[in-house]
Every structure is written in C-alpha cells, then in structure tokens.
Amino acid sequence: SSYGNPIVTVGERGLAHFEIRRAKEGDEAGAAAGDDGANSDAVLMDDDDYIPPDEDEEDGEEENKAAEEPDDKHGGKEIVGYWEDGLAIYADGTREERPIEDEAEVEHRKLLEEQSSDLDREGLWEESFGGHTDSKPYGPMSVGMDIKFPGSSHLFGLPEHASSTVLQTTHGTDSKYHDPYRLYNLDVFEYELDETMALYGEIPVIISQSLSGGTAGIFWFNPTETFVDVYGPNDDGGIGDTAGHGTTTHFMSESGVMDLFLLPGPDPHSLYEQYGRLTGRVSLPPMFSLGYHQCRWNYRDEPDVYAVHEKFEELDYPYDVLWLDIEHTDGKRYFTWDHNTFPNPVDMQKKLDSQGRRMVTIIDPHIKRDNNYYIHKEATAKGLYIKDKSGTKDFDGWCWPGSSSYLDFTADKVRSWWADQFAYDCYKGSTPALFTWNDMNEPSVFNGPEVSMQKDLRNLAGVEHREWHNLYGLLFQRATASGLIRRNPDKNTRPFVLSRSFFAGSQRYGAIWTGDNAAEWSHLEAAAPMLLSLNVGALSFVGADVGGFFGDPDAELMTRWMQAGAYTPFFRGHAHHDSKRREPWMFGDETMIRLRKAAMARYALLPFWYTIFREASV
C-alpha cells in the first residue's frame, strides 16, 4: 500500500484449504470414466475438442427422459408439468405437496457434521436435497481461504443479494446475519429482502474502503457455489480480530482452484482500472437503450402493440422500446412467432422503427424438445446439448415449453452456432430494429434442485456442471450479443441484450436487471442498495423493474418508482401477467402527468447518460 500499511492479508489465520478430488475405493472404473471432467481447465472447449455422438444413437424423446425422481414419490400419478417453484402438476388437476423436512433426518445430518471427517464414510459420495440426488464421483471437495482487510470496517460487494450495500457480519452473537453470503445463481421466485440468500447472479468481489488504507479489493475467481462469512472486528470466533482492527472474511467454494486476484487501488479509479483489465470494461450501449422501456408479460397481439404505441404518441409520453415476453412465440419455441397473434412481425417492427422505436423479444436458453422444431432438431443432430450425469444422453429438464434441453455455452462451437441463429434468414420475422432479452439463464430448471440444473450433469468436455454453474448466464449473454453483431456484417451496429443472470465480466455484453421484484414499498427501498451493489461488481448498465414485477402498485407507489427509475441506468417498466395493466395512462390523468414528467426528466439527461457510458467504456 502507498500508505505504508497492509491493506489485504491472505491466510493469516491458516484457514486456507484445498480438498482434492479422489476416486471412491472400489470404483476405479467409474472414476476413469469421469477423468475427462477432472480438470476444471477444460470447462471452455474449442471446436477441435468436440466429440460427436455415436451415429447409431437413437434420436427419440423417450430415451432422453430424465428419471431424477422415484415414481413412488408421486404415488403413481401422471406428471403433466411443473410450477415455477419446482413442484409437480398432476393430470388429475392436483399438485405436489411441498415436502416437510423429517426431524430424524435433520438430527442425523447434524450428527454426521459433528463427526470427524472420514472421506469414505457413507453420505459423502452423494447428497440428497428436495427429492434429488447429487452423485459426487470425486467425493467431497472444497477450496477456502481467509482474507483480512486490516484497518477497514467497511466492505462492499458480493452481489447479488437483496440486502445492504455495505456487507454485514455473518458470524458471532452480535452479527447482523446468521448465514454466510451465498453465491449461486438461481431462479428465485418472489425473493426475500434483507437476506444473504442466493439470487440470479453473482460476482465474488469485495471492495474495502478506509481512511488508513484507502481503496483495496479482491476478486475470488471461482464460478462454483461459494459461501462467504464476514467476521466483525471484535469477533474471536475462529478468525476474528480481537484487537478490533480490520475485518476478516472467509471464502469457501465447492470446487475449483484458488484463483485470487488482489486489487491494491489505492483509490476507486485505480482499483476499477485494475479490475477492468481482468474482466473487461462496460460496453457502450446504443443510445435508444438509455431511454424508457415499456414491457409486460405479455402484450397479446399486434393490435395490442399498436394501441399501446399510439397511446404513448397521443400523450407525447417519451419511450424508446416496446417488449414482447414468451407468449409471442409459437408454443415457447424461441426464434419463432405465433402467427395467429403476430402474423406480420416485420411490418410491426418497421412501423415502430419508422417512428424512432425499437422492439425486444425474449429468448431463453431452454429449447423445447420437439423434433419438428428446427432449433431442437439441429442442436440434437450437432450434439450441442448438456448431457446427463453419464455423459451419454442429452439432459431433459422442464421449463416454460415443457420438456426442454439446454445448450452447452461453454463450448465455442455452441456459442458460434447460437450466434448464427440471429441471422435474418434464420430468425424469420426479425429486423435490425429487433433486440434481445435473455431470461431464465441461471439456468432455470423447474424440476431440478432449487429450480436449477443438477450439479452432476456434464458439458461436452465431460466437466460436471458444478464446476462452472455460475458462468452459464454470462456465456449465454455473450453468445447472444455476438449474434446481434454478426447479423449486420457490413455495419458497426451495437447490440442490446438484457440478462437476468451474470458473473464477473457481464458488463461487456449488455444490461442486467434485479429480477422478479414486487409492487411493494419495501422493494422500492431495496432497489437502490441492490443496484449499488451491482455497481461495486462493475455492472453499470443496471436497473430494477419499475412498479415491481409481482402485484399491483397504486398510483403513489407507481409515481415514486417512476421518479426513482428515471435516475437508474436501465429504465424499464415491467409486470407479471396476473398484474393489472399499468401503462402510464391507466392511473388517471393526474398521475399520468406526474409519470410523464419523471420520464421527461430522464430524457433531458440523455446526453449526460450517454457521455458517462462512453467515458466508462474506454
């Protein structure tokens, strides 16, 4: 440190640990079969690494059906779908009851945790959770390290959490929280506030600010599930500083390696220059994307789109982009249109474009398993899907389209193929005025553990999903942004892609929003610290759904949210399909005038917004 004092110390308490992979005794054959996945350096693969499937492998739906849950769990009932919370829907109209945790099982698990660590004891080679079993072919694994910030009691970072921008203590009798900050990208339905629970994205970065040490930080480069404890200055419960100087953190990740970057600062500008050299700088967004975006799940059809657009025009209410959610597609088949409701998508886009507006459509990573759907048919033939835990069959999960498979975006050939799908001759009905929204990219699997992908699935390089889970959203958004650039080979046209999930480096590919918030004052209050925390992780183009996604805001809440949203980088109104229509004129003339005034204030500052994004991008 230029101040003469240490600003970051690592391993001071001797808690660095690295549990290596090993083969289970008597299971050498199984371990050998998984050797290709033992090296986490193979997570990202090039075209030359691709191994095609056997030619004689059947191309049918039934052989790839996942059998993750035992039949007796459902009492022989036929499953016809899954709710967003992962519980099954039965053919008789009933739904699966949420399981109640057995007290005996809880006590048994606690007893195991208290026992000495025997690597071969029962239970360490597999783990059950929510009716799913996670096979662990390499046994128990973890890496961890204690990292201290001497002289600092103000730490920031570890997005994404619906909590204070300043990190709070998680250990000790006087701690704010009693659970560590969890970093694991999940599709969280109606998330809780003021919690350390995992949300849609994560960046394992901590920034320290103090008078004695200036600005310093660390980047724990590990995309596996990670927990971070924060110890108060007077906490002597293991790794605290009883002298009352500094704050200690303890990182523990499920797998991977110790890849720690120190960011010495000593001021905020210098620190983010250092971090930018590691992960990239924010991309300069197109000017239109800095205006107001109007969205809901879902605008019903072309007449609905035209009516909304024309009402904005009539009221001289500024907006730049109109959005379409999943219902615009043909049966949740992305890159398609429902021609009953949107028979002329090109004409629709051209009409809005002629009046200075753009459109955005949603495209998610789950692909409907339908052999008549050209995306699925080609992805299957080319072997582009994530595999089951055996590494031989395409994984079959459940999401909006029903039975779905998931593309492996760690593979260069998959990202390149995905980018090609945005070409105008592939994405029929698209024009240069159409841009993209990537949702459900944690990835979300309705019938998976925690509504997510099983950790023991394998990518095309044979690497378990647990090794790179938190990269999925970043790699998906990267491939989409590449596609929007490629479709205009002779023009320097900047893309716009909104993503829900993210990791370090997502700032290079587009915007991020805070997910499914609620139309409540508490969620409006929580938006500011959540967005500031994303800023600490170098995500600048961020915003929260104006008005709240779930529920129905009254006129006062909508007004205050619009006024606040006008001063956030990404400015979008959005709502759930069960919410009442909430276009600005739906709240009466007096409220509409207030909402319009807030939007006009945003547009008055557009030159400022564009300038600071330009400065941040170079």
- Determine, yes or no, domain membership for 469: no
Query: DSSP string covering 329-355, please?
Result: SBTTBTT---TTT-S-HHHHHHHHHHT
- Determine, yes or no, domain membership for 257: yes
- Determine, yes or no, domain membership for 200: yes
Q: What is the pLDDT of residues 281-337, one digit of tens each?
A: 999 999 999 999 999 999 999 999 999 999 999 999 999 999 999 999 999 999 999
Cα 434 from Cα 483, distance rounded (Å): 12
Nearest of 264, 265, 268, 152 to residue 210 by alpha carbon: 152
**Is the Cβ–Cβ distance between 441 and 452 less than 8 Å?**
no
SS3 322: strand
Percent of the chain scored above 90 by pLDDT? 72
Q: How confident is the model at residue 11 (pLDDT cuts 50, 70, 90)?
A: confident
Q: How high is the pLDDT of residue 115?
A: 52
Q: How high is the pLDDT of residue 50?
A: 35
Does the pLDDT value for residue 28 go beyond 60? no
Helix-then-strand count for the chain, H and E: 12, 25
**Is the Cβ–Cβ distance between 430 and 381 less than 8 Å?**
no
Task: Output b/e per residue, 190-200; b: 16+ Cβ within 10 A.
Answer: ebebeebbbbb
Does the pLDDT value for residue 108 go beyond 70? no
Q: What is the pLDDT of residues 232-245, one digit of tens each?
A: 766 654 444 434 57
Does the pLDDT value for residue 33 go beyond 50? no
Query: DSSP string covering 75-126, please?
Result: TTPPEEEE-TTS-EEETTS-BPPPPPPPHHHHHHHHHHHHS---TTSTTTTE
Cα 379 from Cα 130, distance rounded (Å): 30
Q: Which two tokens stand for residue 1?
A: 């440190």
Q: How confident is the model at residue 48 (pLDDT cuts 50, 70, 90)?
A: very low
Q: Which residues contact 106 (CB under 8 A, 6 or more apart)?
A: none
Higher-confidence position of 190 and 302 = 302
Cα 561 from Cα 572, distance rounded (Å): 11
DSSP one-letter code for 608: H
Q: How high is the pLDDT of residue 473?
A: 99
Cα 254 from Cα 141, distance rounded (Å): 6
SS3 percent helix, strand, coil of the chain, rounded to 5, is 30, 20, 50
Q: How confident is the model at residue 100 (pLDDT cuts 50, 70, 90)?
A: low
Q: Which two tokens stand for residue 168?
A: 């709070």
Where does residue 84 fall: left (phi above 0), alpha (psi -120 to 50 degrees), or beta otherwise? alpha
Instruction: Name the most confidently modeled range: 50-64, 104-118, 245-259, 600-614.
Output: 600-614
In this structure, of 36-45, 151-160, 454-463, the range with the lowest mean pLDDT score is 36-45
Nearest of 225, 244, 222, 223 to residue 233 by alpha carbon: 244
Q: What is the mean pLDDT of residues 362-368?
A: 99
DSSP H helices in 555-604: 555-565, 589-604
**Is the Cβ–Cβ distance between 502 and 508 less than 8 Å?**
no
Q: What is the mean pLDDT of residues 185-212?
A: 96
Nearest of 303, 288, 317 to residue 347 by alpha carbon: 303
**Is the Cβ–Cβ distance between 566 and 535 less than 8 Å?**
no
C-alpha distance from residue 161 to each of 145, 150, 177, 231, 577 (Å): 22, 25, 13, 18, 25
Q: Which secondary structure element, helix H or strand E, spans residue 571, and what is its range?
A: strand 571-573
Query: What residue numbers bound the domain in which 221 lies?
Result: 9-18+141-279
Q: How high is the pLDDT of residue 21?
A: 63
Q: Residue 174: how many CB atoms within 10 A of its CB?
A: 9
Q: How high is the pLDDT of residue 57?
A: 38
In this structure, of 69-78, 175-184, 280-289, 360-369, the range with the lowest mean pLDDT score is 69-78
Cα 471 from Cα 598, distance rounded (Å): 37
Q: What is the pLDDT of residues 252-270, one digit of tens each?
A: 999 999 999 999 999 999 9
Count of structural domains, the chain: 1
Q: What is the pLDDT of residues 512-530, one digit of tens each?
A: 999 999 999 999 999 999 9
SS3 327: helix
Q: How high is the pLDDT of residue 84?
A: 60
Q: How confident is the model at residue 43 (pLDDT cuts 50, 70, 90)?
A: low
Does the pLDDT value for residue 459 go beyond 60? yes
Query: DSSP string covering 405-441, please?
Result: EEB-TTBHHHHHHHHHTTSTTTSTT--TTEEEEE-ST
Q: What is the mean pLDDT of residues 382-390?
A: 97
Q: How high is the pLDDT of residue 90?
A: 74
Q: What is the mean pLDDT of residues 8-16?
A: 77
Q: Which secondary structure element, helix H or strand E, spans residue 398, and what is its range?
A: strand 397-399
Q: How confident is the model at residue 8 (pLDDT cuts 50, 70, 90)?
A: confident
Q: Which residues contact 539 (CB under 8 A, 6 or more apart)?
A: 159, 203, 282, 502, 506, 507, 512
Q: How high is the pLDDT of residue 128?
A: 76
Cα 305 from Cα 294, distance rounded (Å): 11
DSSP one-letter code for 54: P
Task: Respond yes or no on whether the N-terminal peptide bond of residue 6 is cis (omega within 30° of 0).
Answer: no
Cα 460 from Cα 42, distance rounded (Å): 10
- Determine, yes or no, domain membership for 237: yes
- Determine, yes or no, domain membership for 231: yes
- Determine, yes or no, domain membership for 314: no
Higher-confidence position of 94 and 150 = 150
Q: How high is the pLDDT of residue 580?
A: 98
Q: How high is the pLDDT of residue 281?
A: 97
Does the pLDDT value for residue 140 go beyond 50? yes
Q: How high is the pLDDT of residue 67?
A: 40
Percent of the chain scored above 70 by pLDDT? 82
**Is the Cβ–Cβ distance between 240 and 203 less than 8 Å?**
no
**Is the Cβ–Cβ distance between 291 and 319 less than 8 Å?**
yes
In this structure, of 104-118, 276-290, 358-372, the range with the lowest mean pLDDT score is 104-118
Q: How high is the pLDDT of residue 32?
A: 39
Q: Which residues are annotated as catalytic? A: 439, 442, 516
C-alpha distance from residue 88 to each of 62, 69, 72, 98, 398 (Å): 19, 11, 13, 10, 10
Task: Output b/e per residue, 117-150; b: 16+ Cβ within 10 A.
Answer: eeeeeeeebebeeebbbbebbbbbbbbbbbbbbb
Q: How high is the pLDDT of residue 30?
A: 43
Q: Which secondary structure element, helix H or strand E, spans residue 228, and what is its range?
A: strand 226-231
Q: Which residues contact 527 (CB under 8 A, 6 or more apart)?
A: 514, 517, 544, 564, 568
- Determine, yes or no, domain membership for 190: yes
Does the pLDDT value for residue 69 go beyond 50? no
Does the pLDDT value for residue 45 go beyond 70? no
- Domain CATH for 204: 2.60.40.1760
Q: What is the mean pLDDT of residues 85-90?
A: 72
For the chain, state the CA radius of gyration. Answer: 25
Q: Residue 231: beta bridge partners?
A: 171, 248
SS3 129: strand
Higher-confidence position of 187 and 244 = 187
**Is the Cβ–Cβ distance between 315 and 585 less than 8 Å?**
yes
- Determine, yes or no, domain membership for 176: yes
In this structure, of 47-61, 300-314, 358-372, 393-407, the range with the lowest mean pLDDT score is 47-61
Does the pLDDT value for residue 52 go beyond 60? no
pLDDT mean across residues, the chain? 88
